[in-house]
């Protein structure tokens, strides 16, 4: 009874429309429709591209009689998604929840609270897991033949996948938090560790394709077989869905249920102690004298943004991913210059010249650096500071833009130079690519700022809601991709008759033109948009 009541409150708190959108949909219908359209577009684009890849893969796997590998793919994707979610959110949901002060004095058993918290977290995980593996399931049942029992076993089996990652990585997340708590640069160490985990997962999934066999599918099968022998739930899942083996399904259900029940009982004290620890922090006196430092207003805002960035783990991991991946790709290009083109052709079906591959990589990486699309929202409850100070709204936006350029552009320039060195691009082409990355960085930056001015989300409990789930983040990301597609079309048509360098130059000119137009917009409109915000 109490569990149900608690769950109903948690659901209203976490899944309400206005909570997810950041505004009241009934009052701002136009905005709600625009976001709805965007969501449908984003979901459609994802399902189509991801679905296309797995549909093709399913066809090939079916031809060689190993369609069950697709199920292992689904299992691994669901596991990786669960791991990522738990690493990000377990601390906030379980070990350091903000309503601890409200819930703890109430006569509700700890395990009831913990169970309800876990259910909310699981619902979030299931939402992303089912969206991600839907194309895989479609491909599997299309090529293997649809049957109700198989689908039922697939759905039940999928519900169990996130449980073990939840249990294991909750502890990993807590361990990282505890280990780094007393270090000087806790957040930066946390960010580095999480980057290492993610890049490790990425490396693992890419290494599926590089083995002793010439046929990459055989490498994958070897890897999947090995994984199944180490982690039995994979074998049970595949057995249940593929062979309709009831015993395998029972093993899967029983093992996960047991793990979950033990987890709920085992962590009760841990949850209380970590939450209490967070409550009882003591401000230590510091012998190091604080030194004042003078900056320009824009510089000061950019410095503040930098601090916020490195102190907000989810912010740094998401927006910092682009620059990190660019540098990694640049370094990798020096060592694997000969294999890049071949890799993209065989693994991704991108049979392009190296210049185009570089442009695609840099374009997508830079489009992920969208701090301006969320940084105004991240002011949240502190927005009163900017509103009450004598700073022109456009100055605030320029400060935020400066930070975004600092974040993305140097990495893009360095990467371009590394690529240029690795694959011996001509001087002119290098200069053209540099012009392209500068123009793209400027354009994406100011585009994000305009988006955030239109769809701010000041009400949030966790920065993840802004950085990953807000309309601003989605608009900025998908909007940048649309502009990249336009750039690509220009390049495609121009290079039919002219050189690639001219194509890159024209793409850059389009970006600069858009940038100039958007700067005029910022100059003219920022103040009136700022004044409309109710905080």
Partner 1 sequence: MLVIKNVSKTYNNKTKACDRINLTIEPGDIYGFIGHNGAGKTTLLKSISGIINFEEGDITIFGHSIKTDAMEAKRLIAYIPDNPDIYESLTGMQYLDFICDVFEIPLEERVPLIDKYAEMFEIKDVLSNPISSYSHGMKQKIVIMSALVHQPKALLLDEPFVGLDPKASFLLKEVFKDMVDKGSLIFFSTHVLEVAEKLCNKVAIIKNGKIVSNGRTEDVIKDESLEQIFMELSNES
User: Which residues contact partner 1 (rule: CB under 8 A)?
Assistant: 281, 283-297, 299-301, 303-304, 307-308, 310-312, 381-382, 384-385, 387-392, 531-532, 534-535
What is the gyration radius of the CA atoms in the chain, in angstroms?
25
Nearer to partner 1, 242 or 312 (CB): 312
Question: Is the CB of 39 or the CB of 279 nearer to partner 1?
Answer: 279
Residue 205 or 311: which CB sits closer to partner 1? Answer: 311
Smallest distance from partner 1 to CB 313, Å? 11
Q: Which two tokens stand for residue 303?
A: 């410095």
Helix ranges restricted to H, 286-320:
297-311, 313-319
Among candidates 243, 74, 225, 57, which has minimal Cα distance to 143? Answer: 57
**What is each CA distance from 521 to 293, 366, 370, 441, 455, in whole angstroms?**
33, 22, 18, 17, 16
Q: DSSP 3-state helix, strand, coil percentages of the chain (rounded to 5)?
A: 80, 0, 20
Contact 386, 395 (CB under 8 A): no
Q: CB of 16: closest distance to partner 1 in angstroms?
A: 18
Closest CA to 475 of 23, 38, 1, 12: 38
Q: Which is nearer to partner 1, 497 or 531 (CB)?
A: 531
Task: Tell which phi-psi region holds residue 369, choosing left (phi > 0), alpha (psi between -120 and 50) or beta.
Answer: beta
CA 370, CA 33: separation in Å to the nearest integer?
23
Q: Identify the sign of the CA torsion 219, 220, 223, 229.
A: negative
Q: How far is the CB of 331 from partner 1 (least distance, A)?
A: 30
Q: At its nearest, how many Å lie between partner 1 and the CB of residue 98?
A: 13
Nearer to partner 1, 277 or 381 (CB): 381
What is the nearest approach in angstroms of partner 1 to the Cβ of residue 122?
29
Where do the H-state alpha helices sit in 91-215?
Answer: 100-103, 110-144, 148-160, 163-181, 186-207
Q: Write the CB contacts of 156 (distance below 8 Å, at least 6 apart in sequence).
A: 240, 249, 253
Element spanning 31, H or E: helix 29-63
Q: Which is nearer to partner 1, 227 or 297 (CB)?
A: 297
Nearest approach, Cβ of residue 470 and partner 1 (Å): 19
Least separation in angstroms between residue 316's CB and partner 1 is 11
Of 12, 17, 28, the C-alpha closest to 455 is 28
The residue among 24 and 229 lying less far from partner 1, judged by its C-beta, is: 24
**390 burial class (0-12, 13-18, 19+ CB within 10 angstroms)?**
exposed
Q: Is 276 helix (H, G, I), strand (E, B) or coil?
A: helix
Report, in Å, the least distance between residue 24 CB and partner 1: 10
Beta carbon of residue 186, minimum distance to partner 1 (angstroms, whole number): 10
Of the pair 288, 496, the CB lying nearest partner 1 is at 288
Which CB sits closer to partner 1, 281 or 496?
A: 281
Q: Given the complex with partner 1, which of 283 and 497 has the nearer CB atom? A: 283
Phi, psi angle pair for 291, to nearest 5°: -110, 130
**Helix 427-454 vs helix 354-367: angle between axes, to the nearest 10 degrees?**
20
**How near is the Cβ of 180 to partner 1 at its closest, in Å?**
14
């Amino acid at each position: 009874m109490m569990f149900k009541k608690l769950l109903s409150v948690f659901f209203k708190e976490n899944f309400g429309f206005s909570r997810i959108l950041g505004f009241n949909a009934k009052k701002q219908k136009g905005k709600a429709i625009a976001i709805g359209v965007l969501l449908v577009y984003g979901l459609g684009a994802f399902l189509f591209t991801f679905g296309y890849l797995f549909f093709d893969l399913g066809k090939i796997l079916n031809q060689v009689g190993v369609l069950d590998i697709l199920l292992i793919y689904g299992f691994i994707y669901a596991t990786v998604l669960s791991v990522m979610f738990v690493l990000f959110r377990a601390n906030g949901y379980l070990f350091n929840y903000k309503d601890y002060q409200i819930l703890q004095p109430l006569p509700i058993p700890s395990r009831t609270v913990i169970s309800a918290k876990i259910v909310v977290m699981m619902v979030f995980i299931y939402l992303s897991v089912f969206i991600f593996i839907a194309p895989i399931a479609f491909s599997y049942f299309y090529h293997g033949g649809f049957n109700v029992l198989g689908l039922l076993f697939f759905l039940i089996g999928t519900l169990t996948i996130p449980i073990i990652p939840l249990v294991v990585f909750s502890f990993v997340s807590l361990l990282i938090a505890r280990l780094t708590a007393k270090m000087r640069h806790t957040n930066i160490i946390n960010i580095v560790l999480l980057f290492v985990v993610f890049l490790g997962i990425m490396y693992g999934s890419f290494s599926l394709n590089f083995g002793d066999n010439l046929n990459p599918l055989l490498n994958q099968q070897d890897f999947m077989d090995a994984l199944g022998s180490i982690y039995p739930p994979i074998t049970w899942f595949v057995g249940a869905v593929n062979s309709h083996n009831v015993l395998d399904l029972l093993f899967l259900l029983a093992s996960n249920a047991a793990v979950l029940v033990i987890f709920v009982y085992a962590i009760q004290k841990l949850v209380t102690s970590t939450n209490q620890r967070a409550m009882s922090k003591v401000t230590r006196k510091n012998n190091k004298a604080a030194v004042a430092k003078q900056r320009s207003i824009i510089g000061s805002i950019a410095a503040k943004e930098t601090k916020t960035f490195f102190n907000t783990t989810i912010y740094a991991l998401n927006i910092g991913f682009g620059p990190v991946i660019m540098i990694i790709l640049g370094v990798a290009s020096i060592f694997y210059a000969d294999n890049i083109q071949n890799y993209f052709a065989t693994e991704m079906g991108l049979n392009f010249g190296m210049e185009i591959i570089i442009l695609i990589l840099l374009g997508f990486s830079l489009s992920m650096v969208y701090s301006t699309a969320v940084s105004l929202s991240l002011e949240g409850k502190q927005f009163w500071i900017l509103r009450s100070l004598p700073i022109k709204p456009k100055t605030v936006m320029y400060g935020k833009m400066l930070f975004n350029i600092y974040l993305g552009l140097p990495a893009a320039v360095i990467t371009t130079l590394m690529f240029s060195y690795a694959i011996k691009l001509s001087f002119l082409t290098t200069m053209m690519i540099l012009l392209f990355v500068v123009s793209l960085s400027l354009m994406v930056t100011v585009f994000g700022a305009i988006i955030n001015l239109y769809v701010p989300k000041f009400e949030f409990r966790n920065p993840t809601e802004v950085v990953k789930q807000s309309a601003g983040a989605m608009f900025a990301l998908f909007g940048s991709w649309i502009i990249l597609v336009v750039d690509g079309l220009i390049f495609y048509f121009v290079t039919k008759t002219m050189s690639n360098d001219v194509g890159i130059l024209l793409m850059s000119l389009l970006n600069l033109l858009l940038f100039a137009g958007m700067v005029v917009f910022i100059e003219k409109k920022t103040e009136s948009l700022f004044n409309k915000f109710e905080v």
